[in-house]
Amino acid sequence: MRIIDLLHPHLDGVATVVDATAGRGLRLDRYLHLPPGVELSHHEQPVGPGQLVLLTYGPDPRLHGDEAACLAVLERMRPGGRGLILFGHRGSDLPYHRLLDHLVTHRCQVLRASALGYTHLHAGAAIACTEELLPLHDWFGRAVPPDGFATALRMADEYVLADFVSRSLRDRTLDLERTVEETTRALDAARDDGTAERLTDVTREKAQLDSALRGARDRVAVLEARVAMLEGSTTLRVGRALVAAARSPGRGMVRLPGELYGLWSGRGRGRGTTARPMPPAREPDAAVPDGRLYLAHRAVLSTPRDRLVIAGVLSDSTAEDFATEAVVNRLLPHDGRLLLERTDPDALVVQLSACCDVAGPWSLVGTGLAPDLDRCLAELIRQTKALGRKAVLWRDAPATGAPGLAHLDWDAVVDGDTGVRLSRLDPVADGRARLWEAFQQDSTRVRLARLARLTGAPDRLDGRRVAVLAAPRNETEVARLTDQVLGQVHRPAEVVVPIQGVPALDELTAAGVAVHADEPTAPWVADWTDLSEDRPDTLLLDLMCAQEYSGADAVGHTPADDDYAFVPEMRPVLVRRSLLLAGTPADTWSRDGYRLFAVRGKENA
């Protein structure tokens, strides 16, 4: 919620808004957007009928003022006067008990309190100085019927019920804090005696030794095969016969012709009378077969990572969907260890439903009926931890299908499905609202963003950031731009304005939207230089949803009112940053191979 959402409903009958925060770091006049007929004033006189005072209270005295300054403003309140208290504390940390007695002393009634979406102002409360009980507002901001007794009953009932809920939450919070403290002490104790570090070092060293031992065994097997091949060769046998004859010239020289004749006559044994063909010449750089070259092609990321890299036990459909947003390497029982070593993934992901697939390579793992697969998966988890990566169980099916998986050493467990790829939905059959819902909550990209946060990998949701190009020329256009930006369901990440001649956009900055005059840094850019155009709050949501559905380079409108269709030309509304900075005319984009996708002009239709 913005300040105007809390302030404007209480401006009826108000002609003057008194800013009592002058001289501090805040400039609230840029947040108010007062309607015609209401003027902003700065004075220290009593606040009576027709006036509303703005005051702040928070943890930073230089920015919000101290408690004494807030109480001094409350002393200026007179019956009929109103006020708006803006808090720098978050709702759960609000020290309302420090103001409650002073509000009662100065006959101030709190009419409504709400959370605010700014970086330095987190809550606000509308108050009124009155000699009688005023009607409250419900959850939707509407005033309840003006019945004093009903209002008193409502306040009493809500106080008792809210206090009951808050006490339960406080008890739970205290229990959680106590658990955190005990766990922290245990970890500190383990860290002090070095047990955890030694265990980690030993585990890592054991994994490295196991890997070296397996490599040595592979090399020994190769050498044994080569020795066996050499021992069976005719050249070696002839050499042995000559050496034996040389050692015993008397009898050896007599037997030598017969042995050589036997070698010559048996050279084609097993192939009839056909001579053994010579092996084809091997290319000079060809690899020597050593028993490890049985891997199919796998994706390996050799550039700086900007995408999540997954090694997983996944179903076919999940692997296909994940591959659109991440680098995916599917592990098989015979090549999983080698793939982990070669690809160094961000996470090992084991999908429970893939383990329950009767036709899959990991069928019966975790059931106790395939102990070799259980050992193989446990070894993959140990190797993942030795590499410093996360092992994640994606529990998208009932755990009873593979109960043994719950006993393995997972770093995290994700409950829920693996999401839906937007391109699998039908905009006509499923409807635009279903696509919006999937985009925000159920898409594959959202699911993988959660996995990225668990593993510390790049967040794919960064690819949804939008920059808005605008050039407001006066306070009216500033207010309109602020309304359109902060009202978007998919809020822009930054607003790019010209270097000079633009009024301050402090409210956008306070709401977490970057404002600058450099080139846009977000992957997508929307041109809002025409501030006279009406833009629904679902505009950017619909455009970004269409882009993720289609994979297009630009999304916009056409005169033919095309909807969810690729077109050769259109009026671009959302453009890929790299395409915009290239500076090529929009009418040549299609000929240059860029994909243009059209959505209906009325985004809220």
Phi-psi domain of 298 (left: phi exceeds 0; alpha: psi -120 through 50; beta: other): beta
Q: Which residues pair with 556 in a beta bridge?
A: 572, 598
Q: Is the separation of the CB atoms in 438 and 422 below 8 Å? A: yes
Which tens digit of pLDDT belongs to each residue from 451-503? 999 888 888 899 999 999 999 988 889 999 999 999 999 999 999 998 776 77
Q: Is the separation of the CB atoms in 577 and 524 below 8 Å? A: yes
Nearest to 340, CA basis, from 348, 328, 349: 348
Rounded to an integer, what distance in angstroms lies between the CA atom of residue 66 and that of residue 70?
Answer: 7
How many other C-beta atoms are found inside a 10 Å radius of the C-beta of residue 63?
Answer: 15
| Amino acid at residue number 119 | T
If DSSP codes are grouped into helix, strand and coil, which group holds residue 483? helix
If DSSP codes are grouped into helix, strand and coil, which group holds residue 88? coil
Which two structure tokens, joined as six digits, stand for 500?
């000079």
Rounded to an integer, what distance in angstroms lies between the CA atom of residue 6 and that of residue 126?
Answer: 7
Task: Report the first-to-last Cα separation within the chain, whole angstroms.
Answer: 25
Rounded to an integer, what distance in angstroms lies between the CA atom of residue 309 and that of residue 339?
Answer: 12
Rounded to an integer, what distance in angstroms lies between the CA atom of residue 143 and that of residue 159?
Answer: 18
Confidence of residue 1 (pLDDT cuts 50, 70, 90): confident
Q: Is residue 561 scored above 50 in pLDDT?
A: yes
Nearest to 498, CA basis, from 515, 517, 480, 485: 517
How many other C-beta atoms are found inside a 10 Å radius of the C-beta of residue 552?
Answer: 20
**When comparing pLDDT for 188 and 315, which is higher?**
315
Mean per-residue pLDDT for 207-225?
A: 76
Mean per-residue pLDDT for 91-98?
A: 84
Q: Is the separation of the CB atoms in 339 and 329 below 8 Å? A: yes
| Residues whose CB falls within 8 Å of the CB of residue 233, separated by 6 or more in sequence, listed in order | none
DSSP string, 254-284: HHHHHHHHHHHHTTTTTSTTSPPPPPPPPPT
DSSP letter at 372? H
Report the C-alpha dihedral over residues 40, 70, 133, 149, rounded to 10 degrees.
130
Distances (CA, A) of 190 to 26, 196, 198, 242, 300: 47, 6, 10, 70, 38
| Amino acid at residue number 89 | H
Q: Is residue 117 scored above 50 in pLDDT?
A: yes
Q: Is residue 127 scored above 80 in pLDDT?
A: yes
**When comparing pLDDT for 257 and 395, which is higher?**
395
Rounded to an integer, what distance in angstroms lies between the CA atom of residue 595 and that of residue 20?
Answer: 54
Q: Is the separation of the CB atoms in 554 and 596 below 8 Å? A: yes
Which tens digit of pLDDT belongs to each residue from 329-352? 999 998 888 889 888 899 999 999
Three-state helix/strand/coil letters over 178-191: HHHHHHHHHHHHHH
How confident is the model at residue 125, as a pLDDT?
92
| Residues whose CB falls within 8 Å of the CB of residue 158, separated by 6 or more in sequence, listed in order | none
Confidence of residue 276 (pLDDT cuts 50, 70, 90): very low
Nearest to 76, CA basis, from 38, 107, 101, 115: 107
How confident is the model at residue 279, as a pLDDT?
46
Angle at 203 between CA 197 and CA 206, to 5 degrees: 135
Angle at 588 between CA 582 and CA 594, to 5 degrees: 70
Which two structure tokens, joined as six digits, stand for 412?
């995290």
| Residues whose CB falls within 8 Å of the CB of residue 564, separated by 6 or more in sequence, listed in order | 427, 428, 546, 549, 550, 597, 598, 599
Domains annotated for the chain, with CATH where assigned, are 3-146 (3.40.50), 308-455 (3.40.50), 460-598 (3.90.550.10)
If DSSP codes are grouped into helix, strand and coil, which group holds residue 529? coil
310 phi/psi in degrees, rounded to 5 = -120, 135
Q: Is the separation of the CB atoms in 344 and 301 below 8 Å? A: no
How many other C-beta atoms are found inside a 10 Å radius of the C-beta of residue 378?
Answer: 15
304 phi/psi in degrees, rounded to 5 = -55, 135
Which tens digit of pLDDT belongs to each residue from 143-176? 666 666 777 777 787 778 777 877 777 788 888 8
Q: Is 353 exposed, middle or buried (0-12, 13-18, 19+ CB in 10 A)?
A: buried
Rounded to an integer, what distance in angstroms lies between the CA atom of residue 514 and that of residue 526?
Answer: 15
Element (DSSP H or E) covering residue 515: strand 514-516
Mean per-residue pLDDT for 434-441?
A: 94
Which tens digit of pLDDT belongs to each residue from 402-436? 999 989 999 999 999 999 999 999 998 988 999 99
How confident is the model at residue 267, as a pLDDT?
54
Rounded to an integer, what distance in angstroms lies between the CA atom of residue 71 and that of residue 108?
Answer: 12
**Location of structure tokens 């012709």:** 257
How confident is the model at residue 247, as a pLDDT?
62
Confidence of residue 30 (pLDDT cuts 50, 70, 90): confident
505 phi/psi in degrees, rounded to 5 = -120, 55
**Location of structure tokens 């009112």:** 561
Rounded to an integer, what distance in angstroms lies between the CA atom of residue 328 and that of residue 310?
Answer: 5
Phi-psi domain of 132 (left: phi exceeds 0; alpha: psi -120 through 50; beta: other): beta
Q: Is the separation of the CB atoms in 47 and 53 below 8 Å? A: yes
Distances (CA, A) of 151 to 132, 137, 159: 11, 10, 12
DSSP string, 3-58: HHHHHGGG-TT--EEEETTTTSS--THHHH-PPTT-EEE---S-B-TTEEEEEEE-
What's the distance, CA 300 to chain centroid?
22
**When comparing pLDDT for 117 and 161, which is higher?**
117
